Chain A
Amino acid sequence: MNNNQQNTSLNETSLEKVTRKVNDITKFINNITHKIGYVLLFGLMLVTVVDVLMRFLFNSPIKGTMELTEIVVAMVVFFSLGMGQIMGNHLEIDFLVNKFPIKVQRVVQIIIYLIGTLLLVLLTWKLFELGVSSMNSGEVKGDLGLPVYIVIFLVTIGSIGFTLTYLAALLTTVTKVVVNK
Chain B
Amino acid sequence: MSAELIGFIGIIVLVLLILFKVPVGLSLLIVGFAGIGLIKNVDVALSQLASSSFSTVNSYSLSVIPLFILMGMFMSNTGFGNDLFTAVEKWIGKVRGGLAIATIGAASIFSAISGSANATTATLAKICIPEMEKYNYKTTFATAAVAAGGTLGSLIPPSVLLILYGALTSEPIGALLIAGIVPGILMAICFMILINIQVRMKPEIAPQRTETVSMKEKVYSLKNVWPFLIIFLISIGGIYVGVFTPNEAGAIGAMGAFILSVVTRRMSLKILLDSLDETLRITVMIFFVLIGASIFGRFLALSKIPMLLSDSITSLDVAPFVILTLILVVYFFLGMFLEGIAIMVLTLPIVYPIITDLGYNGLWFGVIMILIVNIGVLTPPLGLSVYIIAGIVKHVSIEQIFKGVIPSIITMILFIILLIIFPEIVTFLPEITFK
Contact = CB atoms under 8 A, between A and B. Distances in A.
A87 to B, nearest CB: 6
A81 B20 CA distance: 21
Contacts of A155: 54, 57
Chain B interface main SS type: helix
Interface in B44-90: 46-47, 49-51, 53-54, 57-60, 62-63, 66-67, 70
B281 A87 contact: yes
B60 A130 contact: no
B284 A89 contact: yes
B273 interface: yes
Interface string A143-180: 00000000110010000000000000000000000000
A25 interface: no
A38 B273 contact: yes
Interface in B1-36: 18-26, 29-30, 33
Contact of B19 (A45, A72, A76, A96): A96
Interface in B159-216: none
B18 A127 contact: no
Contacts of B252: 48-49, 52
Given A73-B63, A92-B24, A96-B21, A49 B58 contact: no
B46 A126 contact: yes
Nearest to B280: A80
B47 A48 contact: no
Given A44-B251, A84-B288, A93 B19 contact: yes
A172 B109 CA distance: 44
A73 B56 CA distance: 10
Given A38-B277, A41-B70, A91-B339, A97 B20 contact: yes
Interface in A120-152: 122-123, 126-127, 129-130, 151-152
Nearest to A112: B22
A79 to B, nearest CB: 8
Nearest to A155: B54
Interface in A62-77: 66, 69-74, 76-77
A132 to B, nearest CB: 11
B420 to A, nearest CB: 29
Interface string A79-111: 011011001011111111100000000001100
A90 B280 contact: no
B23 A44 contact: no
B289 interface: yes
A84 B22 contact: no
Contacts of B276: 37-38, 41-42
7 contacts: A90-B24, A93-B24, A96-B20, A96-B21, A97-B21, A119-B33, A123-B29
Interface of B: 18-26, 29-30, 33, 46-47, 49-51, 53-54, 57-60, 62-63, 66-67, 70, 244, 247-248, 251-252, 254-255, 258, 273, 276-277, 279-285, 287-289, 337-339, 341-342, 381-382
Interface of A: 34, 37-38, 41-42, 44-46, 48-49, 51-52, 66, 69-74, 76-78, 80-81, 83-84, 87, 89-97, 108-109, 112, 115-116, 119, 122-123, 126-127, 129-130, 151-152, 155
